[in-house]
Structure 1
Amino acid sequence: MGDGTPSTGDFGQRLRHLRTRAGLSQEALAHAAQVSVRALADMERGRTRGPQRRTVRALSEALGLDDDEAARLEESAALGRPRPRPAAGPPGPGTLALPRDIQDFTARGPALARLLHLARDAAPGRPGVSVIAGQPGLGKTTFAVHAAHCLAPHFPDGQFALDLHGMDPEPTTPRDALARLLGALGVSEDALPAGTDDRAGLWRSLAGDRRMLLLLDNASDEAQVSPLLPGTGPSLTLVTSRHTLAGLESVHRTDLALLRREEAVELLTRIIGPDRVRAEAQAARDLADLCGHLPLAVRIAGQRLLSRPHERLGKLVARLAAEGRRLDGLQAGSLRVRAAFALSYRQLPPASRTLLRRAALAAGPDFSPETGALLAGLSHDETVARTEELTDAGLLQSDATAERYRFHDLLRLYAAEQAEAEDGPEVRAAALDRTAHWMLRRATAAALHFDVGHEVTGAQGDPDPDTAPTGREEARAWLEAERAQWLAALRRAHDTGRHREVLDTAEAMHWFSDLNQHWELWVEVFRRSADAARRLGSRREEAVHLNYLAWAYNLCVHDPRAALTSADAALTAARDCGDGLQEGWALGYGAGALNRLGRMEEAQNRLRDAALCLASQDSPQGRLAELSVLNSLGTLLRQTGRAAEALDVHRRSERICRAGVPGRTEEVIALYHAVARQQIGNDLAALGRWQEAEAPLRQALAAFEAAQMPAWAEQARLDLGQALGAVGHPEARETLSAARDALAALKSPRRVEADAALDALDRATAGT
């Protein structure tokens, strides 16, 4: 720009330029905007690239910006905020990147040397596995991450790290872990096998010829780990666990012990510097002893001293010894470790203590400032300042790219103990209820951005409109980042009898769930909402949510038997209350389950009954449901060799689209029409009427391209290419080649079909 201001996209440079122009130091701007100096420094250095809108507003006001400058600053912040991954795109390589290595890593030399020897000996026939075990606080993860960085040059095909959450109430399942690993290797969600065994087979196949390093952190047991281990190839897997995992055979074992006293003192030296340790050598040794030579406790004590450069080590030793005499009731670790936690905790200001213990009540592996503020009863800005303070004290860990924080699991246990001891059941319940109510309101408002029948205006219904997500991208990013929290809120609302809240949230989630069919949590969401409807005595809503549950069983967890049970229950409820729309959906979902169970004739009969039922419905919802059922029926008929009947059914679907559906936008109907045209083209092709198939397939392709739906467009391009090839059209090769390349980039299983079509075209050309 003409005034020398950095480009819009670089928030940190722009903020630093504006601060310098205003003649303010970081400390002065931080004070004026009510943010911490560390948070401001992280923004200017680019560590925090997309602060929240309220933070940007505070900075703009403190800097005295006019409306145009404030808008440009907000625009640059918005570009740095996390965005959701496109639904059709696969997670790219590096999704499971190694965590950052620490600079003050100390000791463990022999263990590292043994791992280096293991890495050098890695052979194609026997991939190496090392189990790193030991008690809490020994630094297993820190050691494994450091070792992985040291060993990385030996594994040029990639290094991946995956937290298995072994100490959580619900550790990561092997099935979900395999999905993450396969995604890191470029397998799209659409191409993931349904079952754990099939996913494990695909993982072993893809990993078998790669020289890669895999870190599986915080494993719960052998059953969780075994499916994740490569079967062949020169890879190396590091597994950390509090358990010995003795059931894993033929593995290398690294059993970490406590540090020796001199190693603990060396770690302290690296944290606070050699001058302070030399000045109080005996106090440093005493401090190491009081920390039990446990790396986590030494690190907490060291970081406390680092934040107090003028405090004497002897003073900390005296306080830690006194605290140790007061503690009892050990639950994890040793008395001295809990004493170190307790001393750090009691030195905090009251608001920081409240935030630390209440944050332990949050669901999921990490939490946002919003969640912390709700649980602690603090303002957002106060919470951000307190989390930065807790991070500096080593009591929380901050995310490298987002405003999110997590506990070490031993510290989380300690914080939860303090919440139970200091807050009492009524205070904790009130905090959880307050958080759950807020989370459900925001989740509902965010999900409504995806409801085709609901016009979202502003932040309607959101508990804090100023920070509410605006538009689908922000709404999706929030729903993904906070899914553990809003799911926990839904559970609490259900368990405490707030059934209307449960129903409203689940209903709002309906269209959003269709974009995230890989989320298995939809089964729980709709199981609870169906139960809520039953408890409220609403038979119609019970039918609706039993249908949603049948959908989730069919498409999210691939359990057609459970889907059929839910669909049958929905059918009974719909008929009891005379709801023809839900009766049609129940028949359709039941047909989908029967089809997956191989009961094709029963599936066809149900689809015909569903189409007949829905034809009598006058609502826009009825028309869309009828279109879905007709397309499914026609496809099933064609697949069973009845292409002529399929064509009649899809022609009927097209007539409905051409007539339009009142209350639904032209864009929505255009997509249904495109699906019908694609199916008509495929029906004509199945009947050998290749030249007639070309026009509807071209129309479908154009519609999907216009709607920017590449996964759909490239499948239509493949169908078109096959039709063109059958009549010797000169565009056939170009069309098929483009479809093959695009489907390969999308990791679509239909790329194999495209290869086969090109091979067939080559043979036909050679024969001619």
Structure 2
Amino acid sequence: MPSTEDFGQRLRRLRTGTALSQEALSHAAGVSVRALADMERGRTRGPQRRTVQALAEALGLDADEAAGLEEAAASGRPRLRTAAGPAASLTLALPRDIQDFTARDGALARLLDLAQDTGPDRPEVAVIAGQPGLGKTSFAVHAAHRLAPYFPDGQLALDLHGMDAEPTTARDALARLLGAMGIADSAIPAGTDDRAGLWRSLAGDRRLLLLLDNAADESQVGPLLPGTGPSLTLVTSRQALAGLPSVHRCDLALLRREEAVELLTRIVGPERVRAEAQAARDLADLCGHLPLAVRIAGQRLSSRPHERLGKLVARLAAEGRRLDGLQAGNLGVRAAFALSYRQLPADTATFLRRASLAAGADFSPETGALLAGLSYDEAVDCAEELTDAGLLQSEPAAERYRFHDLLRLYAAEQVTAEDGPAVRDAALDRTACWMLDRAAAAALHFDADHERTAPSGDPDPDTAPTGREEARAWLEAEQPQWLAALRRAHDTGRHRQVLDTAEAMHWFSDLNLHWEQWVEVFRRAAESARALGSRREEAVHLNYLAWAYNACVHDHPAALESADAALVAARDSADGLQQGWALNYGATALNRLGRTEEAHTRLRDAVRCLAAQNSPMARLAELTTLNTLGTLLRQTGRAAEALEIHRRSEQICRAGVPDRPDELIALYHASARQHLGNDLAALERWDEAEPQLRQALAAFEAAQTQAWAEQARLDLGRVLGAMGHPDARATLLAARDALTVLRSPRQAEAAAALAELDEAATGV
């Protein structure tokens, strides 16, 4: 057999010797006709070992003939050039590793496991994705250097320029890979598919590590991935590359605070960090724990060895200058964000920058749609595109999105640069009006005076919350948005909308005593009423404000001041109902300030004022005032008098209040029972107290009024403890934990009762 016979010539001789056509051999060996033709014409000079074995079996070759065919194929397989080879191979050498690389131990360990799991049928691919500035390339390069010993046949690194205006095409990238594998330019096929086939045949038998950095999309990466063999490919991209199948994902997270400080320490030196430890921590926080930002801050400080860390902290603390401060030479956070922003379609770019105007830590597509002037579906598409691009992070369980702090600053800069004040204000006003209309409609689900049908006035009835659970969920999730909308409406003079929203929320507020923002809501509402010249509405909202000071933030001097102002406004407008409420709230503040006798006098005045009126609302106010008066009497050692007062409350509840729903009166009745139980407990009539408190607790739970239910649970736990009941401890423990979550001042009372019960049990 002539020694000059190459693989293609040998294969054709063997095939014709068995009288097989290319089609027949293709079918028998499982190799495409096109691939066979390329082999016989010499375009593919060294197919991989498994292909040669399949051909030998299909041709029925003996061992010697099969070995000869494999030897011919092996001679046609070019070997990967080393650094000592021609200069062209050096273009794909791994970049220099970063000596101060920090953290990422978990992600690196997963890649090490992956490197050891590659095999002839398992060419592994790991996609390293995430937002700009996470250090994806630095991590991939560092990992490649650590993984190099597992891949003795070579390591290749290729920048795909995915963020450039014209990313590297798959065709051009394949040409560079083939050149690094020793294929002469004249032998590189013209078409992308042919190049990909040749690349896969060359890579198939080798343990190669391939780093594809800065990938644009799946169509660019797909043709570059080896199809078989024990290789590992690392792909970095700002895009999620969700369309790549069968890949491992390595989504880098922000550094933890201590990791960010460690990176800073490695750059500027431990002495400077030790000398200003708190400034180092503050600097890490101002960088948002983003590796790029921390590195820039560190390199800036490193170039100024005599500059204090605290000086840079002070500069970055000013939000308007933070991105300016995160610049070192040609390395800047703003520039990193701009690369991604400039590639966005127009609507998506608008959505990103306008979303920076949303209040709170996160926002819904609904908010983004309002700010950007898009439909809801368009906003969802934009948000998902931005999430895939690493510019937004999505919440795990809800359709909500959030910015990194620095990216929000960058997006806000683009609002100023591209939209201007008029467009910005129009977006904020449009969003505020919609949010307040939705918030008022949602809050009316909890209003005892409102029909229990779907509340009117919602700006989009088709998507409006239906029922209390959906309404509560919306009001809680969008709290920062509607509160910001209320501020904007107040500050821009839309006082009627402020009043209407606050009025709609006053029943809902009573179920959420731990929300400290009720002070701001009702303070702004009172100011809006004053601006409109409505003394009656001013009295109403000053009373709500006094309630919020008393119940939500426990600022009793402020509560008294607000109640006194409400009393004056109520008298000016001849509103007896508001006079009664003002006396009640003022008495509550006085009692908590230790001015018990003054409180007692005001409550008696309030009861007389309200009893003289015939309106249903006056009856409800009278019930509340009687309960407050009874509580004061009990607390001052007059439990028997308190019991009589609370029985009077119960009688009103049993008689009913005209034009008021039964479920509302049931809540007042439950409150009366709670007070009766506490009165009986004060008289040590434990057996009578227990059923009253159990009924109150059951009613509050059925109405889903947690703030009231947990206080009743505490009262019940104390009675059970006095009775020696086995459920006492579990009841007190549940009350303490829930009251702590609610930030109720009674949490301390629950903790004390629990400690007292434990001491009694241990005999301490």
* Paired position in structure 2 for 1:571: 567
Once the two structures are superposed, the pairs formed by residues 109-120 of structure 1 within 5 Å of their partners are 112=103
For 1:537-561, what per-residue CA distance to the aligned partner results, in whole angstroms no more than 9, with x for missing partners? 1111100111111111112112111
2:496 to 497, 500, 519: 500
Instruction: Summarize the Cα distance change of 1:303–1:354 in structure 2 as closer, same or farther, 3 Å threshold.
Output: farther
DSSP-derived class of the 1:422 partner = helix
AA paired with 1:493? A
DSSP-derived class of the 1:309 partner = helix
Percent identity of paired positions between Structure 1 and Structure 2: 64
* Paired position in structure 2 for 1:544: 540
DSSP-derived class of the 1:475 partner = helix
TM-aligned CA deviation for residue 391 of structure 1: 1.5
Verify: 1:680 aligned to 2:676, yes or no: yes
CA distance in 1, matches of 2:472, 2:99: 43
Verify: 1:590 aligned to 2:583, yes or no: no
CA distance in 2, matches of 1:689, 1:602: 30
Once the two structures are superposed, the pairs formed by residues 222-371 of structure 1 within 5 Å of their partners are 265-266=141-142, 278=156, 280=158, 305-306=216-217, 309=220, 331-334=324-327, 336-337=331-332, 338-371=334-367
CA distance in 2, matches of 1:268, 1:440: 54
Instruction: Summarize the Cα distance change of 1:302–1:477 in structure 2 as closer, same or farther, 3 Å threshold.
Output: farther
Instruction: Summarize the Cα distance change of 1:263–1:596 in structure 2 as closer, same or farther, 3 Å threshold.
Output: same
CA distance in 2, matches of 1:499, 1:441: 14
TM-aligned CA deviation for residue 667 of structure 1: 2.5
For 1:132-166, what per-residue CA distance to the aligned partner results, in whole angstroms no more than 9, with x for missing partners? xxxxxxxxxxx79989x9xxxxxxxxxxxxxxxxx
TM-aligned CA deviation for residue 753 of structure 1: 3.2
2:513 to 511, 517, 538: 517
* Paired position in structure 2 for 1:52: none
CA distance in 1, matches of 2:681, 2:373: 64
For 1:675-709, what per-residue CA distance to the aligned partner results, in whole angstroms no more than 9, with x for missing partners? 32332343344345566656655654665576576
TM-aligned CA deviation for residue 530 of structure 1: 0.6
Verify: 1:379 aligned to 2:372, yes or no: no
Verify: 1:753 aligned to 2:750, yes or no: no
For 1:186-223, what per-residue CA distance to the aligned partner results, in whole angstroms no more than 9, with x for missing partners? xxxxxxxxxxxxxxxxxxxxxxxxxxxxxxxxxxxxxx
TM-aligned CA deviation for residue 307 of structure 1: 6.0
TM-aligned CA deviation for residue 592 of structure 1: 1.4
CA distance in 2, matches of 1:668, 1:485: 30
Verify: 1:424 aligned to 2:450, yes or no: no
Once the two structures are superposed, the pairs formed by residues 373-452 of structure 1 within 5 Å of their partners are 373-452=369-448
* Paired position in structure 2 for 1:82: none
* Paired position in structure 2 for 1:733: 725
Gaps of 5+ in 1: 1-105, 113-142, 150-256, 288-300, 317-327, 726-731, 764-768
* Paired position in structure 2 for 1:656: 652
Contact between 1:261 and 1:285, CA under 8 Å: does it hold in 2?
no
TM-aligned CA deviation for residue 527 of structure 1: 0.8
CA distance in 2, matches of 1:344, 1:354: 13
DSSP-derived class of the 1:331 partner = helix
More contact order relative to length (CA 8 Å, sep ≥ 6): 1
CA distance in 2, matches of 1:336, 1:632: 65
AA paired with 2:407? L
Contact between 2:432 and 2:489, CA under 8 Å: does it hold in 1?
yes
Contact between 2:454 and 2:467, CA under 8 Å: does it hold in 1?
no
CA distance in 1, matches of 2:570, 2:671: 28
Contact between 2:604 and 2:629, CA under 8 Å: does it hold in 1?
yes
AA paired with 2:501? T
1:562 to 535, 558, 561: 558
* Paired position in structure 1 for 2:627: 631
Instruction: Summarize the Cα distance change of 1:463–1:267 in structure 2 as closer, same or farther, 3 Å threshold.
Output: farther
* Paired position in structure 1 for 2:459: 463
Contact between 2:351 and 2:369, CA under 8 Å: does it hold in 1?
yes
DSSP-derived class of the 2:450 partner = coil
TM-aligned CA deviation for residue 394 of structure 1: 1.7
TM-aligned CA deviation for residue 418 of structure 1: 1.2
CA distance in 2, matches of 1:576, 1:663: 28
TM-aligned CA deviation for residue 665 of structure 1: 2.0
Please report the RMSD computed on the Cα atoms of aligned residues, expressed in angstroms.
4.1
AA paired with 2:432? A
Which is further off, 599-608 or 695-704? 695-704
* Paired position in structure 2 for 1:612: 608
Question: Could you state the TM-score of these two structures normalised by the residue count of structure 1?
Answer: 0.56
Instruction: Summarize the Cα distance change of 1:276–1:666 in structure 2 as closer, same or farther, 3 Å threshold.
Output: farther
Instruction: Summarize the Cα distance change of 1:421–1:617 in structure 2 as closer, same or farther, 3 Å threshold.
Output: same
Once the two structures are superposed, the pairs formed by residues 63-74 of structure 1 within 5 Å of their partners are none
Once the two structures are superposed, the pairs formed by residues 143-154 of structure 1 within 5 Å of their partners are none
Question: Could you state the TM-score of these two structures normalised by the residue count of structure 2?
Answer: 0.57
AA paired with 1:423? D
For 1:240-295, what per-residue CA distance to the aligned partner results, in whole angstroms no more than 9, with x for missing partners? xxxxxxxxxxxxxxxxx99899668558999xxx99994546979999xxxxxxxx
AA paired with 1:733? H
Contact between 1:359 and 1:376, CA under 8 Å: does it hold in 2?
yes
DSSP-derived class of the 2:600 partner = helix
Contact between 1:440 and 1:501, CA under 8 Å: does it hold in 2?
yes
Which is further off, 644-653 or 752-761? 752-761
CA distance in 2, matches of 1:685, 1:491: 46
Contact between 1:736 and 1:758, CA under 8 Å: does it hold in 2?
no
DSSP-derived class of the 2:725 partner = helix
TM-aligned CA deviation for residue 495 of structure 1: 0.9
Instruction: Summarize the Cα distance change of 1:573–1:439 in structure 2 as closer, same or farther, 3 Å threshold.
Output: same
AA paired with 2:444? L
AA paired with 1:640? T
Instruction: Summarize the Cα distance change of 1:277–1:569 in structure 2 as closer, same or farther, 3 Å threshold.
Output: farther
* Paired position in structure 1 for 2:713: 714
Matched length: 485
For 1:643-695, what per-residue CA distance to the aligned partner results, in whole angstroms no more than 9, with x for missing partners? 23212221221221122111222222223223323323433443455666566
Which is further off, 391-400 or 278-287? 278-287
For 1:380-403, what per-residue CA distance to the aligned partner results, in whole angstroms no more than 9, with x for missing partners? 111111111112222222222211
CA distance in 1, matches of 2:154, 2:619: 77
Contact between 2:718 and 2:753, CA under 8 Å: does it hold in 1?
no
* Paired position in structure 2 for 1:297: none
For 1:555-584, what per-residue CA distance to the aligned partner results, in whole angstroms no more than 9, with x for missing partners? 211211111111111111011101111111
DSSP-derived class of the 1:641 partner = coil
Bigger Rg, structure 1 or 2: 2
